[in-house]
Structure 1
């Protein structure tokens, strides 16, 4: 697998979490090979919400699981209720399946052509700050000079997340994609081209977000993962309320979250009109708030929508 494919997959799995964190401040390991942490102890078991919903229509059942696109071994095993629902489903739907991407199309979205470079597209100050930040991690200017903003930021964040112990290999969508290979129909809520075009539209402001306060990333990721573990939709929604207060924040969220919510909701409604069981894994941020997928489904009045709970 070439380097462009690997980089693309990392970008795909990180786009959501980068959107949340920055606004508020791959493929070698299979599901079966992940060493799971034994979460059993003698403590009293308490019922708590999951970031997981069951949506029923007259002819279909759709399970919707909010995903964190990076993680670690401590996030596993997942709730038995979630695993049983996955096993009972005929189809897995994800934002996109990176295995279906056309390799020839990737490079133009990640790198500038031979006669161009990143330095020509951002201010000297931003470029200098970016180069200096990479230098702290031992990465030379020559390694990033041809990268477009999305690729440059993803490379920087991957270095930081790795240092903090987080890896896209332990992302929830990656976990289920690996398990579904050759076992279930894999469906896409979006197309690779749609996400590549979004990434290609990222400019200097995206780099500026990434350089604001790297020291806070660990704290922010921990808060997000804890909210996911406890089904705390309000906490995740609070990330967005904070993001909207930043310059350009509302437009950023509208472009990268809310518009996509509408198109993904429409796709899920098609599943609800088809017979069968569908297990949908989508970034947690797409599910919360009045503009989230869950609320959009509730507002139709057509479906029974229930947030599931389980014992810890």
Structure 2
């Protein structure tokens, strides 16, 4: 297999295929033990993306924050603010009391911001944080500094502080975001990347505002569709009595077995899955790195979580049967080659030994991913096009790559146009893989050819 085909195949999938099987981090699941209060729900998407909460948040979110948890939050705030490279200031001479009261939590978070020359920071914790809207008093204006601080209160404070400082500095990942209009209808178009890396969070205020302003948020697939997710799971696994070992070479199977052990799946833990399903998973894992957040929240999942928790209508332009069928219809030979390639790159990322050609392919993949995320964060479609050559993907002889676009872009253009033709005054948001937005044959130019106004969001 030629190495340039290998990494282009893997990258094309990340930029074109949804196949995201994680549910939304929604706040409506009443079966859990501790649910956030309504005022904290809007902070969940960003808090999860930033690592301020994890998958077990419903076991502690209403409990009093611990010192260990507060220290972790403070580190996250410190790390995110450090990325801004703001002018530093001399540390305050008076040390502040840090404990698990509201006042102590405020002091801990304030000290991370007090390391920088920020407007009003010299006024002290309460004044500075209140001025930013990080803390808000009760109806009488009291900050209740002596009261024990719950985890959700600390989480919201930390989340608001990061966003406030980033917004004040016009910082954050802008994303490849366009705005299409037709009469009274507005359609925001976000080209996503199905990964979390390169410190992509927090997202820029303009992107967050576009999600919040929309009544309907649409994706390639509805990540909340339980029937669709169940169908995808069934398509990913064997139902004919065979297992993975019956469909790939013994050597490749042994490598998958080793990876199953490395992932904590145990012996034969991946035997039920088809090669294409494992290849998709392994390729995604190979593209993450030490800049990936603790929760590895993909951009699509972030948008979905923010939309669900914001009460938006969720829609999709494709079905699980259609998108899953593209992969499930791949030839057996191709699936085995796809699995071999993605596993090889993952093994290399984990420090395994490989041949020079594979090392070169991995280096090219890493350089391309870094360039793609830099262009995405800067909202620079020209730079994105220079790094990602969609034409070569479409025109390749690869069995999968062309199908990811040629069989899907026209339908996505029509779906986008249908939103713009909706009766009345509406605001929609469409988030699909970035590869579908750009040329040749992308949604942006496709809508322009149909006569709609499409402009890059400033």
Q: Is the structural similarity TM-score above 0.5?
A: yes
CA contact (8 A) 1:56 1:305 kept: yes
Distance, in Å, in 2 between the alignment partners of 1:162 and 1:80 is: 25
Q: CA deviation at 1:100?
A: 0.8
Q: Deviations over 1:70-128 (max 9, x none)?
A: 21482122222222222222111111112113154344212112620123223445445
Q: CA 1:162–1:27 in 2, change beyond 3 Å: closer, same or farther?
A: farther
- Give per-residue Cα distances to partners, 1:245-295, cap 9 Å, x unaligned: 99633x423211232111111011000101301111111111111211111
Residue matched to 2:453: 304
Please state how far the C-alpha of 1:189 moved relative to its aligned partner.
1.2
- Map 1:255-270 to 2 at 5 A: 255-270=403-418
Who is 2:381 aligned against? 233
> Matches of residues 2-21 of structure 1 in structure 2 within 5 Å?
17=11, 19=13
| Aligned-residue CA RMSD (Å) | 3.5
CA distance in 2, matches of 1:49, 1:267: 24
Q: Which deviates more from structure 2 when the two are superposed, residues 78-87 or residues 133-142?
A: 133-142
Q: Which whole-Å CA distance do the structure 1 matches of 2:305 and 2:264 have between them?
A: 32
Instruction: Tell me by how many angstroms 1:16 deviates.
Output: 8.2
Aligned pair count? 289
Q: What is the alpha-carbon distance in structure 2 between the residues aligned to residue 71 and residue 225 of structure 1? A: 10
Partner of 1:100: 225
Q: Secondary structure at the match of 1:144?
A: coil
Q: Distance in 1 between matches of 2:210 and 2:313?
A: 15
Structure holding more helix per residue: 1
Match of 1:63 in 2: 188
The farther-off stretch of 106-115 and 93-102 is 106-115
In 1, the alpha carbon distance for the partners of 2:394 and 2:406 equals 16
Between stretches 170-179 and 69-78, larger displacement belongs to 69-78
The structure that is strand-richer by fraction is 1
The CA distance in 2 between the partners of 1:151 and 1:17, in whole Å, is 15
Higher relative contact order (CA 8 A, sep 6+): 1
- Structure 1 distance, partners of 2:434, 2:245, is 34
| 1:79 corresponds to | 204
Distance across 2 between alignment mates of 1:253 and 1:95: 17
Distance 1:212 1:90, change over 3 A: same
Show the counterpart of 1:178: 305
User: Do the aligned partners of 2:186 and 2:428 also contact (CA within 8 Å) in 1?
Assistant: yes
Q: Name the CA shift for 1:130/1:224 in 2 (closer, same or farther; >3 Å).
A: farther
Give the corresponding residue for 2:274: 148
Correspondences of 1:112-123 after superposition (within 5 Å): 112-113=238-239, 115-123=241-249
SS at 2:457 equivalent: strand
Structure 2 residue 45 is matched with structure 1 residue 31 = yes
Who is 1:295 aligned against?
A: 445
Q: Which ranges in structure 2 are unaligned for 5 or more consecutive residues?
A: 1-8, 16-21, 26-43, 51-76, 88-168, 350-361
State which drifts further: 279-288 or 79-88: 79-88
Task: Map residues 153-302 of structure 1 onto 2, 5 A cutoff.
Answer: 153-157=279-283, 159-160=285-286, 164-166=290-292, 169-181=296-308, 183-202=311-330, 203-214=335-346, 215=349, 216=362, 217-237=365-385, 238-241=387-390, 244=393, 248-249=397-398, 251-274=399-422, 275=424, 276-300=426-450, 302=451
Residues 194-244 of structure 1 deviation map (CA, whole Å, 9 limit, x = unaligned):
222223224223213314544425444322211211233345444345853
Which one has a bigger Cα radius of gyration? 2
Contact 2:24 2:304 in 1 (8 A): no
**Distance (whole Å) between structure 2 residues aligned to residue 121 and residue 65 of structure 1:** 38
